[in-house]
Chains A and B, each alone.
Chain A
Amino acid sequence: MPLHRQFAIDGKELIISIKGKFDFSLVQEFRQAYSDVGDQQPTVFIDLRETEYLDSSALGMLLNMRKALGQSVKSIHIINCRPEVRRIFDISRFDKLFVIE
C-alpha cells in the first residue's frame, strides 16, 4: 500500500504516509486521504519517511491539498523527509507554506 492514512487516537491528528513513489499516480488516492478531516480541526502530518521518489506533480498535489483544506485543519506538517526530499522542498520554498520538520 503506497499510501496509508490514519487518525491519531484522539482524532486531533491525521497522519498520511506515502511509501516509495509520490507522484500523479496517487492523485485520486491522495485527494481521498484528506477529503474527510472531521470537525476537530486536526493537524495534518504528511509522513515522508518512506518516500524515495517524488516529482513536481507531488508538489502540485500538496499545494492542492493546502488550498482544499484551508481553515478546516490547524496546520499541515511535512515530516520525516530524507535529506534529498527536504532539499526539493527547500528549493520550492515549501517551508513558507507548510511546517517542514
Chain B
Amino acid sequence: MNELSYKLAPQHATIAVLHDDSQLAHEVLAQLSVLSQLELVTSLLNDDIASIASTSASLVLLIQADATPLPTAVVALLQEQPQAIGVSQQLVTLDYLSAYVQEQVLWPWSKHLLFNRIEQLSQLYQTHQKIDGLRQALAWHKARVDREHQLVEHIFKNALSRNYLNYQYVNTYLTPVSKFNGDLCLISPGPLGNIYMLMADFTGHGLAPATGALPLSQAFFAMADRGVSVAEMVTEFNYRMSRLLPNDMFCAAILLELSANGERVNYWNGGMPAALLINEKGDVLRHLKPTHVALGVLDDEEFDSRVTSFRAPKGSSIAMFTDGVIELLGHQHKFLGADALEILLSTYPKPEDFPQIVKELERFRGETPLHDDLSLAILCCRPTELGQTKTEYEHYGLPFRLESVLQAEQLKQLDPVALILSAISQLPHLRHHRTTIYLFLAEAFNNALEHGLLGLDSKLKQDADGFLAYYQQRYERLQQLREGEIRISLEFEPTRKEVTIRVADTGEGTLQHDGCDDFSENAYGRGLELLRQMTTDLTWDNETRTVSFKYRL
C-alpha cells in the first residue's frame, strides 16, 4: 500500500466572519474574497450563529462599524475562541472590542496587518496539516511494522521450537539487544546419541540478520536429524548463506559435535571467537580457534570445510560465546575483554557454578545498555545419555511373501538387492532391520551370482590386487552372461517376527565355503560365516540349488 495515500491533502484554513452588514463589512469581505487558500464562513452578528460555532475555524473576524454592544451568543463564542481579530474604522469601536478579541485592526490604515495575519495563519495551518499527515503515516507504519514483527516472531518461535536448549548438560546465557537476535545458539541431538551445537553471529542485529537465521536453523535441524558430519553441514550452511545474504552481510559460526560417549569433539570455526576447552580444575586446555572465514563469504569452490577434532578429557567443558560477550561494555565504560572472560570462565569450571558466571557478567555490565547481542553457552563433555533414536512398533503387520525371478539381462542392469530393500523399507518394522536384511540378501545373492552363474573363485581375493581383479572379473563375466536366472524370495511371518530368505540359481558352481571355518584376517570368506552366525536353519539344497535361512527380528 502506498503510504502517501495516508497524508491528508492540505485543505484551506477556515475563517469565520461575523459582521454588522455595514458598508465597512462589505468592503472588507470583498477584499478578503480575492485571497486564495482561504475559506470564508460569514454570518450576521444578530443572526443565529450556531453554524459559525460548529465550524472549527482557525480565526474569527469581527467586523463592526460602531460600538453597538455584542449579542450574548457572540460574546460566548468569542470566549471559546483563542484567535479573534476585531476590524473597525473607529478607534472607539476597537477599544470596545478589545475586551473580546486579541487583536484589533483599524481599517483601512492597518489592513496590511490583517492580510499578513491571514497569510501567516494559512501557512501555519498548512504546516499543521502536513505534520498531521506525516504523523498519521508514521502511526500507520508503526502498526504495520509491529504486525510484521509479530508475524516473524511467530515464525521464529515455530522454527526454533525444536531447539534443544533444555539439554541437561548445557548451560546458556542468551541476551539479544532487540526482539530479534543476530546471534543464534542451536542444539540438536543426532541419531547416534551424539549432540550438535551451533553458535552463529550474523553481522548487525535486529530483524535483518535474524532473517538469515531461519534458513540456517532449518538446515541445521534437518541435517542433525540425519546425523551428517560437521564438514558436510558447514558446506551446506555456506552454500545457503553465500546465495542468500547480501555481500556486506555474513555469518560467523562455530559448529561442534560431541560423540555419544562425550569424548570425541569435531568442530569447525569460521570467524567466531575461540571457544575454550576447560577442565574441571579450571585449566584452559585448548582454544578452539577460528581457522576459517565466516559463512556466506566464500563460494563453494573456495570454501574450506576441514574440521578439527580432539578428545575431551572427562569432566571438561567447552565454552562458546559471541564477540558480544568479549566486548561487553561495563558500567565503568570499559570492555570486558577476552582475557577477563577467560579468567571468569576458568574461575567457575563446574556446571553448577554457571549462575555465578552470569551474575559476574551482569555485575560487570551494571546499568549500561547492551550494544550487541550476548550469547554464552557451556557444554559439558560427558556421555550425552541421549541414546539412539528408537521406535517401538505395536504390531508387525501383514504376513507376506515377495519373490523376484531375475534373468540375465536384469542381472546386468539392475541392483536387485538394493531394489528389494527399498521396497521392504516401506514397512516400518522391517525398515528397522534393513541393514541386517541387506547383508543377508547381498551375501546370498552375490554367492548365487558370483559362484553359481559367473563361476568366480573366491581364492582370487587373497590379496588386495586379487581382490580388485576378482571384482573386475565379476564385471566382465556379468557383461557376457547370456542365460541363467536367480530367484530371490523373502517371506515374513508377523507372529513369529520371522523372515525367511531363499535364493536359488540355475548355474553350476556350488555354495562356496571358501575353505575357512573361522574369521581370519583374510579379506574373503566372511559372507557365509556371517550368515551362519546371524541366522538360523541355514541350509543348502543341491537339487534345487537353493540356499535358505531364517532370521528373527
- Chain A positions near chain B (C-beta within 8 angstroms): 4, 6-10, 13, 15, 17, 21, 23-24, 27-28, 31, 47, 49-50, 52-57, 59-61, 63-64, 66-68, 79-80, 82-85, 87-88, 91-93, 97, 101
Q: Answer yes or no: B481 CB below 8 A from chain A CBs.
A: no
- Shortest C-beta distance, B301 to chain A (Å), equals 15
Residue contact B227 to A9, C-beta cutoff 8 Å: no
Q: Answer yes or no: B43 CB below 8 A from chain A CBs.
A: no
Binary interface encoding of chain B residues 142-175 relative to chain A, with 1 for a CB under 8 A from any of its CBs, else 0: 0000000000000000000000000000000000
Residue contact B526 to A59, C-beta cutoff 8 Å: yes
- Shortest C-beta distance, B211 to chain A (Å), equals 31
- Cα A89 to Cα B530 in complex, Å, equals 10
Residue contact B388 to A83, C-beta cutoff 8 Å: yes
Q: Answer yes or no: B433 CB below 8 A from chain A CBs.
A: yes
Could you list 30 A-B pairs, sorted by A, with CB under 8 Å? A6-B231, A6-B306, A6-B307, A8-B309, A9-B307, A23-B442, A27-B467, A27-B468, A31-B468, A47-B229, A49-B227, A50-B226, A52-B434, A53-B434, A54-B439, A55-B443, A55-B527, A56-B526, A57-B446, A57-B471, A60-B467, A61-B467, A79-B259, A80-B259, A84-B433, A85-B435, A87-B436, A88-B530, A91-B533, A101-B261
Q: Across the interface, which residues of A come within 8 angstroms of B305, CB to CB?
A: 6
- Cα A28 to Cα B259 in complex, Å, equals 30
- Nearest-neighbor residue (CB-CB) of A21 within chain B: B418
6 nearest CB pairs, A to B: A84-B435, A60-B523, A56-B527, A55-B442, A56-B526, A53-B438
- Shortest C-beta distance, B188 to chain A (Å), equals 14
Residue contact B228 to A8, C-beta cutoff 8 Å: no
Residue contact B438 to A79, C-beta cutoff 8 Å: no
Q: Answer yes or no: B522 CB below 8 A from chain A CBs.
A: yes
- Cα A36 to Cα B436 in complex, Å, equals 32
> In the complex where A60-B461, A97-B521, A101-B259 touch, is A55 in contact with B228 (Cβ < 8 A)?
no
Q: Answer yes or no: B524 CB below 8 A from chain A CBs.
A: yes
Q: Answer yes or no: B30 CB below 8 A from chain A CBs.
A: no
Binary interface encoding of chain B residues 302-324 relative to chain A, with 1 for a CB under 8 A from any of its CBs, else 0: 00011111000000000000000
Residue contact B530 to A54, C-beta cutoff 8 Å: no
Q: Answer yes or no: B291 CB below 8 A from chain A CBs.
A: yes
Residue contact B308 to A10, C-beta cutoff 8 Å: yes
Q: Across the interface, which residues of A come within 8 angstroms of B443, CB to CB?
A: 55-56
Q: Answer yes or no: B464 CB below 8 A from chain A CBs.
A: yes
Which of B435, B467, B519, B530 has its CB near the most chain A CB atoms (within 10 A)? B435
- Shortest C-beta distance, A31 to chain B (Å), equals 7
Q: Answer yes or no: B53 CB below 8 A from chain A CBs.
A: no
- Cα A80 to Cα B259 in complex, Å, equals 8
- Shortest C-beta distance, A15 to chain B (Å), equals 8
Residue contact A8 to B306, C-beta cutoff 8 Å: yes
- Cα A69 to Cα B529 in complex, Å, equals 26
Q: Answer yes or no: B534 CB below 8 A from chain A CBs.
A: yes
Query: Which of chain B's residues 494-553 have a Cβ closer than 8 Å to chain A?
Result: 519, 521-524, 526-527, 529-530, 533-534
Q: Answer yes or no: B459 CB below 8 A from chain A CBs.
A: no
- Shortest C-beta distance, B513 to chain A (Å), equals 13
Q: Across the interface, which residues of B come within 8 angstroms of A55, CB to CB?
A: 438-439, 442-443, 446, 527
Residue contact A49 to B192, C-beta cutoff 8 Å: yes
Q: Across the interface, which residues of A come within 8 angstroms of B291, CB to CB?
A: 9
Q: Across the interface, which residues of B come within 8 angstroms of A61, CB to CB?
A: 467, 523
Q: Answer yes or no: B264 CB below 8 A from chain A CBs.
A: yes
Which of B229, B291, B434 has its CB near the most chain A CB atoms (within 10 A)? B229
Which of A9, A10, A56 has its CB near the most chain B CB atoms (within 10 A)? A56
> In the complex where A84-B435, A91-B534 touch, is A64 in contact with B464 (Cβ < 8 A)?
yes
- Nearest-neighbor residue (CB-CB) of A66 within chain B: B521
- Shortest C-beta distance, A96 to chain B (Å), equals 9
- Nearest-neighbor residue (CB-CB) of A94 within chain B: B519
Residue contact B436 to A7, C-beta cutoff 8 Å: no
- Shortest C-beta distance, A10 to chain B (Å), equals 7
Q: Answer yes or no: B421 CB below 8 A from chain A CBs.
A: yes
- Nearest-neighbor residue (CB-CB) of B292 within chain A: A9
- Cα A31 to Cα B468 in complex, Å, equals 10
CB < 8 Å: which of A4, A27, A101 contacts B264?
A: A101
Q: Across the interface, which residues of A come within 8 angstroms of B47, CB to CB?
A: none
- Cα A10 to Cα B435 in complex, Å, equals 35
- Cα A12 to Cα B190 in complex, Å, equals 26
Q: Across the interface, which residues of A come within 8 angstroms of B264, CB to CB?
A: 79, 101
CB < 8 Å: which of A9, A28, A49 contacts B228?
A: A49
- Shortest C-beta distance, B472 to chain A (Å), equals 9
Q: Beyond the given A8-B309, A55-B438, please list 12 additional residue pairs across the A-B interface where CB-CB is below 8 A.
A: A4-B232, A7-B306, A9-B308, A10-B308, A31-B464, A53-B418, A61-B523, A63-B523, A64-B523, A91-B534, A92-B529, A101-B259
- Cα A66 to Cα B397 in complex, Å, equals 43
CB < 8 Å: which of A4, A24, A53, A87 contacts B471?
A: A24
- Shortest C-beta distance, B409 to chain A (Å), equals 20
